[in-house]
Every structure is written in structure tokens, then in C-alpha cells.
Amino acid sequence: MYIYDDFDLTLVAERVAEFRDQVARRLSGELNEEEFKPLRLMNGVYLQLHAYMLRVAIPYGTLSSKQLRALAHIGRRYDRNYGHFTTRQNIQFNWIKLSDLPDVMADLAEAGLHGMQTSGNCVRNVTTDQWAGVAPDEIEDPRVWAEILRQHSTLHPEFSYLPRKFKIALTAAATDRAAVRVHDIGLRLHKNGTGETGFEVMVGGGLGRTPFIGKTIKPFLPKRDFLSYIEAILRVYNQYGRRDNIYKARIKILVHELGAEKFAAEVEAEWRNIKDGALALDPAFVADIAARFRYPDYKALSDNPIELKRARAADPKFEGWFRNSVTPHRTPGYAIVTLSLKPEGAPPGDATSEQMDAIADLADRYSFGEIRVGHEQNLALPHVAQRNLPALWEALDAVGVATPNVNLVSDIIACPGLDYCSLANARAIPVAQELSRRFKSLDTQREIGRLHINISGCINACGHHHIGHIGILGVEKNGQEFYQITLGGRADENAELGALLGPAVPYAEVAEAIEDVVAAYVELRERPNELFVDTVKRVGIEPFKERVYATR
Amino acid sequence: MTAPSQQKLKVQGAAVITANRLSDGAVVYRTAAGAWTTQLADAAVVTGTQAAKELLARAAADENIAVGAYVAPVDVGADRIEPGNLRERIRVAGPTFSLPACIAG
């Protein structure tokens, strides 16, 4: 966990007092809506279909048990007893009253939580690998760098009114679990030829109306230049970004229109002016930030202890969950456990206050009080002793978060869609629910193998449909919900955008169409472990198209 | 996407003015008396673009009670008013699925 200091706590507390005053002035009519809207957005407060929605930042997806309990409390006291974990390592509450919001913010602040950088045209909550600090395949903990960016960007006056929102993601692992290539800036920690660790810098990735995979403009950026180079990118964007047209305002359009080379040259020119100034990172400062990430006091344990072996041999249900939801840890004798928030027929990413409290208790008991939030809308316990896995599994199963479907076809990513969102054109959650019911058989899911379905209720793509192995985009045609299907997208280190399968299908047919796609894949794959995306890459989309549209 | 409040106004059938209540975000409708109600049945129904524009202008000026006012289509039956599209049906009735239940007790 990162330990906040007095500066952080004071900043959040002052923000609460400021927001309390702003809300009071709005409710009294002293501020009009035009004046108030940007102020509430700067605190993560949106107005949705039925109510205000509060988005709370979970920096780099790391939560303490105390913080998770605070979120459970917010759900219970001020909302409808649940929260929705999003695709950006945030949580949203959908039924909040404006008049309650100052108290909500105050309760969150007591746990070091807030809604800053979850809305508005600023640098948003910086995201990273949910297994940061514990993944065996990472070269160092990327959260240190996410935290440096958080500190630098929070309330930064120069970057609080960017042309549009700005999303940064980091990874330090061989496998990209943070989808860095589809962010405004993606950063990949790696070693160069001399063994020095630095960053590959990618810019101009993004989804939404005009999706792009980010372009690498700096193959290797030394650590000392981390802040100055990112600041140079933001300055170029701030200067040239299209403020005249909201649909062209993201940095991806600027990079595309200028070309990556010219954009990089602009950044280099700006960077030359600032790289040796105050933003050059002193290793002592970085070490200080790193020292505030406290790691558990792991015991000296061995892998594959007898308790685990016995449980695996004795209980096929436990074995199935273990194989699906438990991942190797960098420390011997420990494991990372993913908690599926995708039980059959449930809205993806939702957790009740009771579940959050129970998970917080289990984190205290089995994971050194720490929980992680992933962009796939699942949670993880990052530090579980392998000998405790059987007991943990029983406890997780009792609260409904041990469905062994992680990375399988029913582990669906979906935005809130038209059931909540004022921007949506079509529903996303009911489509996910129907698919999870149709693919409820775990045997069938295991036979299909890894397959990511992503659903967005509008072109803004909060469900990241472009990078789903199967992407589903809701559109409206003459007042009816239709769904475009894309195939072959992926969010990992080989990120690609999916290709459009064909004409959109109506709501009533979308689940059946996806079943057709999956059935075609099972027939087309060369071998049982050829992934869906690899089959699509090998055979193209035509065979899938024929299957889906033959009878439509 | 473009929210209804930002779309070019063109009203072909019956319509009401809807917004969200400032204090809690609840869905409200403009009444003929110039107040706001949570009941669609009590909303003022207008027909045609001009009438809708006039009612909308008065409603929008009342933003200290309700915000984000826009024109929403309705179907008017013999004895009741129904939302005219899925978005408005959801605003009246809530999400189209059961909200998460208490699992852990």
C-alpha cells in the first residue's frame, strides 16, 4: 500500500470543504448550473439518467481494506447498497443525491479517497497493472511512477483545462494487463541494451468514436526524464489540441493529423527546454516515493504446500477455481487471487456493500489488508499464502465472488449503458447478462478457452468494445437498439482493433449472433488451445460473417 | 453521444418537458402550472415544435429546481401518458434488470 502523508490528507480535506461550499451555493441558487457543472465534474460528479453519479478514483487500482469498507459504507448509507467497478480502476455510485455529496466526500476523505481526476478535461486517474508489485513477470513496481504522475498532475493548473480528458496507463510486465496501447499516453517499463530501466512512450492511442492504437514516439526514455517528457507531450497537446471540435479534441486526433514523427519532433523541441530543469527526477525523490509503498511482511513459505495439494486432489470444484482464478506470485508460497464480479446473470463489475465488507474482512485475514481493482471489472487479493487458498475459496464462494470464469467468455466487460448513462444509445448490461446465462456451463466455457467479450452502449466505448476479442457496440436505429459486432480486437501487448463483422443485429438477436460466432470459432480453430483472436487472425472474419448472416 | 438536451429540437408528436431535480437528480416533469412533478401522468403535454420550445424555455429558466431540461416524446392514450422511447421508459421505471441483491447477508 501507498501511505499518504499529511500533505495528501490535507489536500483531500480542503477539497471536501471547498466542495461543501460549492454545493451549498448551488442549492441556494447563488451558483447557476453553468457555473456549477465544471465544479462538480472536477470532483467526479455526473448527472445521469436517474440521479447523480459519483465516480471515485482508485489510484493504480490499489485499495486498503479500510478504503473498501469506506466504499461499502457509501453504498449502504448514501446509495442503493452497491457500487460499480469500472473499466478504469474507478468505482461509481449511481444513486447519489447532490445534497448528500459533501458528506459522502467527507466520509471518503477519511479513508484517503476522493473523486478528483475522474472527470473533466484533466489528467485522469492513472491506471496500471492490477497485479503491480506482485506479478512475477514485471521488472519493477509501476505504481511508483503512477504515483509520481498522480502527485504531479493533481490540480496542476496548466493541465486542468486540457482540450479534452487525458488518460495515462503504465505497465512494467511482459504481459500488458493495463491496455497501455489504447491510452492517450501508454508507458511500458523495460530494460535497454545496457540493462538500464526506462520507458517506452506511446501516444495517441484511444477508443471512442475514432479508435487508434498508440504510436511509439520514444522507444527508451530514461527515468530521470519521466516527468519532463510527459509534461512536454501535455504541453504540445495543450497548445495544438482541437478545442474547436469535441470530436477531434483528443490527442489521438492530433497525433494522427500531424503524424507521429512530426508530433514527436514537437515534443522533442518542447522537451529540450525543460528536460534539465525542475522536472528532472532526482533518484532520491523517486526512492522516497517508492519507500512509501509498503510491502507485506511475507513469511518464508514454499510453493505448493500440502494444504493446497490435498484440496486440489480432493475437490474438483476447488481445483477448477484454482486453475482459473489463482495466479503465480513473485514471492514463493504466495498467490494472486482474482475475484470474479461476473457471476451468472449479474451486471458486470457490481458489488454489494455486504460483498465489499466481506472482501475487506477476507483481505485483512488473507491478503495483508490489500485489494486490487482491475480494468476487467474484477477484484484481486494480491498477497494470499497458498496454504490459505482452500479456506479463502470457501469464504469467497459464500459471498458470490468465486465464479471460476476469469478470462472466459462470461467474464464480460460492459459499460453501464442505457440503463444508467445519459450518453448511451443502447443497453449493455442486459446483453452481458443474457450472454452469461447462455454460456453458463463452466465446461463449455473452459472448452471455448480465453475469450474476452466487451460491450459498449455507445460510441464513446467505455466498455472498450474495439479491443474485445468480440466487441459489441450498441447503436440506435429508428428508436430501436441494434448492435454492431467486431472480431479480433485485443488489449494486450499485441493490441489490435477489432474488425466489423457486418450489419448491426437487433437486441433480440445479439446473444444468438455471439453464440454463432463462438460456435464457428470452435469449429474453425486448428487445435483446442488456439485462442479465439488467433483463429480470427488466421482465417479472417469471412467465415464468421457467413455463419452469423447466413440466416439473417 | 449527443444527449437529448443538445440535439436540434424537432417535435413531431406529443411531448413533455423532463429534467432532473437539482437536489437529488430524480426524474421530474414540467406541469402546466409551471411546477415540477415526479409523475409523468401530471406532466403538461404539448404537440409540435413551437409549443415544446415555449414550454422548454420556461422550464430551462427554472434551473434552480430542475436541471438539464429537454423535450421527451410521449405516447398519449385514453387514460394515461406513456414514455415515447426506451430511454424515457428507463428513466420512469429504472434499469431494466434487478439491481444487485444482498448476497452476503
Q: Do A51 and B26 touch (CB under 8 A)?
A: yes
Q: What is the largest CA-CA distance in chain A?
A: 68
- The verdict on A253 and A140 lying in the same domain is yes
| Average pLDDT score over chain A | 97
Closest by Cα among A484, A444, A343, A332 to A401: A343
Q: Within a domain: residue A31? A: yes
Q: Is the domain of A195 the same as that of A246? A: yes
Tens digits of residue pLDDT in A259-305: 999 999 999 999 999 999 999 999 999 999 999 999 999 999 999 99
| pLDDT of residue A355 exceeding 60 | yes
Are A325 and A281 contained in the same domain? no
Does residue A164 lie in a domain region? yes
Number of compact structural domains in chain A: 4
The predicted pLDDT at position A357 comes to 98
Is B75's Cβ below 8 Å from some Cβ in A?
Answer: no
What are A539's three cell numbers? 482465417
Residues A437 and A527 in one domain: yes
pLDDT digits (tens, 9 = 90+) for A129-174: 999 999 999 999 999 999 999 999 999 999 999 999 999 999 999 9
Q: pLDDT tens digits for B58-104?
A: 999 999 999 999 999 999 998 899 999 999 999 999 999 999 865 44
Contact: B24, A52; criterion CB under 8 Å: yes
Of all residues in chain A, the one with the smallest CA distance to B103 is A399
- A359 and A462 fall within a common domain: no
- pLDDT recorded at residue B3: 63
Query: What is the mean pLDDT of the segment spanning B12-30?
Result: 96
Report the C-alpha gap between A544 and A537 in whole angstroms.
Answer: 12
Task: Tell me if chain A has a CB within 8 Å of the CB of B93.
Answer: no
Q: Is the pLDDT at B5 greater than 80, yes or no? A: no
> What is residue B104's predicted lDDT score, i.e. its pLDDT?
41
ipTM, two decimals: 0.93
Q: pLDDT at residue A38 above 70?
A: yes
Looking up residue A371, the CATH number of its domain turns out to be: 3.90.480.20
Domain assignment present for residue A25? The answer is yes
Do A145 and A287 reside in the same domain of the chain? yes
- With respect to residue A116, please indicate whether it lies within any of the assigned structural domains: no
Strands B14-21 and A505-506: unpaired
Is residue A66 assigned to a domain? Answer: yes
Q: Are residues A393 and A417 in the same domain?
A: no
Rounded Cα distance between A158 and A71, Å, is: 31
Q: Residue A127: inside a domain, yes or no?
A: no
More confident residue, B101 or A64: A64
Q: Mark whether A95 and A144 lie in a shared domain.
A: no
How far from A195 is each of A176, A192, A233, A284, A330, CA to CA, in Å? 20, 5, 26, 20, 21
**Is residue A144 in some structural domain?**
yes
Per the CB < 8 Å rule, is B3 touching A422?
A: yes
Residue A124 included in any domain: no
Q: CB-based contact (8 Å) between A69 and chain B?
A: no
% of chain A beyond a pLDDT of 70: 100
Cβ–Cβ below 8 Å for A96 and B90: no
pLDDT at A333 over 60: yes
Q: Quick one: pLDDT band at residue A8, thresholds 50, 70, 90?
A: confident
Same domain, A394 and A422: no
Domain stops at, among A235, A266, A291: A291
Q: What is the pLDDT of residue B11?
A: 85
| Angstroms from B101 CA to nearest CA on chain A | 7
Å between B100 CA and nearest CA of chain A: 6
Per-residue pLDDT band at A492 (split at 50, 70, 90) = very high
Residue A328's pLDDT band, with cuts at 50, 70 and 90, is: very high
Give me the DSSP letters along A35-72.
Answer: HHHHHHHTTTEEE-SSSEEEEEE-GGGEEEHHHHHHHH
Identify the domain containing residue A349 by its residue range: 306-398
Instruction: Kindly state whether residues A234 and A342 are assigned to the same domain.
Output: no
Same-domain check for residues A73 and A167:
no
Helix (H) or strand (E) holding B51: helix B49-60
Q: Which set of grid coordinates corresponds to residue B20?
A: 432532473
Decide which of A291, A323, A342 is a domain's last residue. A291
Residues A533, A419, single domain; the answer is: yes
| Structure confidence at residue B103 (pLDDT) | 44
Instruction: Using a pLDDT cut of 90, give the percent of chain A over it.
Output: 98
Give per-residue pLDDT as tens, B31-62: 999 999 999 999 999 999 999 999 999 999 99
CA distance A188 to chain B (A): 32
Report chain B residues whose CB lies below 8 A from the CB of A27.
22-23
